[in-house]
A and B are shown apart, each in its own frame.
Chain A
Amino acid sequence: MGSSSIFLDNTRLGHPTPPGAAGRVRSWIRRLASGDEVAHIITLIFAASIVLVTLLLVLELYRNSALPRHKFGWAFFVTSIWDPVFENFGALPFIYGTLVTSAVALLIAVPLGVGAAIFLAELAPPRISDALTFVIELLAAVPSVIFGMLGIFILVPILRIYVEPFLKSTLGFLPLFQGPMFGVGFLAAGLVLAIMVVPFILSVSREVLLAVPVEQREAALALGATRWEATWKVVVPYARPGILGSVFLALARALGETMAVTMVIGNDPRISASLFAPGYSIAAVIANEFTEAPGDLYRQSLIEMGLVLFILTFILNGLARLLILATTGRGTERA
């Protein structure tokens, strides 16, 4: 309600509304004539259209993925064959690639983002904190195709020549760091994703940290805690649900990110334990093969993967909003 309640129904002021249904109708007609109700209905239609567009989106994805649902059923999600020639489609390699790259991204981005958020919320003077936050918001505005381009031309060569041989010689006993080194692959995609989702973790975590009551810090410091102990043992646990929400938001971004991943993941529908190996992700296969998909079954299999992606991000975003709402008390109230 909030601000809307202050608008008195000024047509009602001069003419006391007669009681009963007939009176209500008459008062409504009067408001309609004054234009208020017309404005209300018009804006309501626009607002409702957002819900309708979202419903239409779900319906279109569902309707246009009927063929693979009937033909493959649930086996679609656990089959790792991707054979456009014989029209045999399974989504497993793409689901695997999406999950692995997102996991790598979060492993790097969560400590980095939360650490930087602690610095900006707890240590930096407000002026510097605001300036740095603005720079980080700009980083979030950089188009993903530019991250992809820098990934191809800078990150991939560095990985192939320096980082991957180093990892292989030091941690090569782990299956994660074995096999031939191409540069492109899960590791490259995960790294690019990490850089892309850090701003999301950072800005939301900073907000929730700033929302922690100052008394919490003061109480901890008064008990003799160091600055770090007060932050790590009192402030961060207090803000934990909101921070978790920011991680979910970042995960949703990472799962759906298309261009940067497509450009560095290697585009090979195979499941490999090694992070050096090329792979594929759901978004990348849609981006690469959708225009060229000749058959309906082929295209609809891609759309079904789009539906999976939609459902995953839908759930994650919903959870994230609720968690942030629980921490700051205003998640959906203010973006």
Chain B
Amino acid sequence: MNRRTWRKVVNGVMLGLTGVCALATVSVLFFILGYLVLNGGRYLSWTFLTHLPVPVGETGGGMANAIVGSGKLLLVAAGVGLPVGFMGGVYLAEFGGRTFPFLVRYTADLLNGVPSIVMGIFAYTVVVLPMHSFSAVAGGLALGAMLIPIVLRSTEEFMRAVPRSMREGALALGANKWRAIATVVVPAAIRGIATGMLLSLARVAGETAPLLFTSFGNPYWSSGFRQPTSSLPVMIYTYAISAYDDWHRQAWAAGLVLLALVLAANIGARMILSRRMSSARG
């Protein structure tokens, strides 16, 4: 084989291989999705969504408390994480000089990379130790701390995307800076900001590690926010590593519910954003 053909062969083979890599990666998602729908769908029922777990040995029961518990945890997380992330994002986009915003951005990126289990330890030392009890507050706080950097960066990005001319217009009409921000810039960016928040919630909704020793678990309903609270991801974990077939079936069903929620939030966010882009371009 002469050199020319050899180079052509290498070209074809290597480019083909990159395609195989892409295909393999993409197919993993479809495999996961398909497997969960097939396997979890069989065990998903109305009882599963509306009943409490039953003791080992009895079949049936559900995870209603874990679904509500996850909701509670997300509520606490949203209460902590969304305002801090949003206001911080406004600061980065509209105020600030050179060094401090850089520090904030850099810290946010690093905070974003902190392993979630370490966030759990943090919430444990700050909330569980002083309160002497596992609680929804502790779990929610761990998740909330994880929300902050994500919301911060997406808020900043979408506010920066608002055209200068809109700010100038508001100022020309005599508005203060803060009025221009509150009545013109934020409303113009609100869809993007809300989408960022939705995505951040979807991301922490699936977190298990930070909840293991903060919100812990609870086989019953938990009242209020100061008691141990069960959540879907922790239930999936406990049920999946157990030795009972019936619990495995429940874990598959719970996995399907969790994955469906997370993916629906992601796809929904994407659709909101793309509609906004196309309408902005006319």
Contact = CB atoms under 8 A, between A and B. Distances in A.
A241 B171 CA distance: 43
A214 interface: no
A38 B176 CA distance: 12
A61 B98 contact: no
Given A232-B14, A321-B109, A258 B115 contact: yes
A61 B262 contact: no
B84 A46 contact: yes
14 contacts: A4-B94, A10-B176, A47-B152, A49-B88, A57-B114, A112-B24, A115-B20, A146-B206, A148-B240, A202-B25, A256-B117, A286-B117, A310-B115, A321-B109
B240 A263 contact: yes
Interface in A108-133: 111-116, 118-120, 122-124, 132
A255 B236 contact: no
Ranked 4 nearest A-B pairs via Cβ: A256-B115, A143-B206, A115-B21, A46-B87
A39 interface: yes
A137 B100 CA distance: 31
B183 interface: no
A2 interface: yes
A139 B15 contact: no
Contacts of A143: 205-208, 233, 258-259, 262
Contacts of B236: 145-146, 149
A137 B25 contact: no
A249 interface: yes
Given A146-B255, A256-B115, 20 more contacts: A6-B164, A7-B94, A50-B152, A64-B125, A115-B20, A115-B21, A116-B21, A123-B15, A136-B25, A139-B28, A142-B259, A143-B205, A145-B258, A146-B206, A148-B240, A149-B252, A227-B15, A263-B241, A303-B125, A332-B109
A61 B251 contact: no
Interface stretch (A16-24, A150-158, A163-171): A150-158
Contacts of B258: 143, 145-146
A54 B110 contact: yes
Interface stretch (A71-79, A270-278, A312-320): A312-320
Nearest to B182: A39
A134 B270 contact: yes
Contacts of A119: 15, 18-19, 21-22
A42 interface: yes
Nearest to B234: A145
B91 interface: yes
B26 A141 contact: no
A133 to B, nearest CB: 10
Main secondary structure of the interface of B (DSSP, over half): helix
Most buried by B among A123, A137, A335: A335
Contacts of B49: none
Contacts, number: 300
Nearest to A317: B113
Contacts of B252: 149
Given A258-B209, A332-B105, A112 B241 contact: no
Contacts of B188: none
Contact of B208 (A123, A145, A256): A145
A116 B18 CA distance: 5
Most buried by B among A1, A141, A232: A141
Nearest to A42: B87
Interface string A43-54: 111111111011
A313 B115 contact: yes
A228 B16 CA distance: 10
Interface of B: 7-8, 10-11, 14-15, 17-22, 24-26, 28-29, 32, 35-36, 83-84, 87-88, 90-98, 100-122, 124-126, 145, 148-149, 152-154, 157, 160, 164, 167-168, 171, 174, 176-182, 202-203, 205-209, 212-213, 216, 233, 236-237, 240-241, 248, 251-252, 255, 258-259, 262-263, 266-267, 270
A64 B124 CA distance: 11
Nearest to B20: A115
A309 B90 CA distance: 31
Interface in A284-335: 286-287, 290-291, 302-303, 306, 309-310, 313-314, 316-318, 321, 332-335
Nearest to A49: B84
A36 B176 contact: yes
A139 B203 contact: no
Contact of A112 (B21, B84, B95): B21
A199 interface: yes
B80 to A, nearest CB: 10
A218 interface: no
Given A119-B19, A258-B117, A310-B115, A335 B11 contact: no
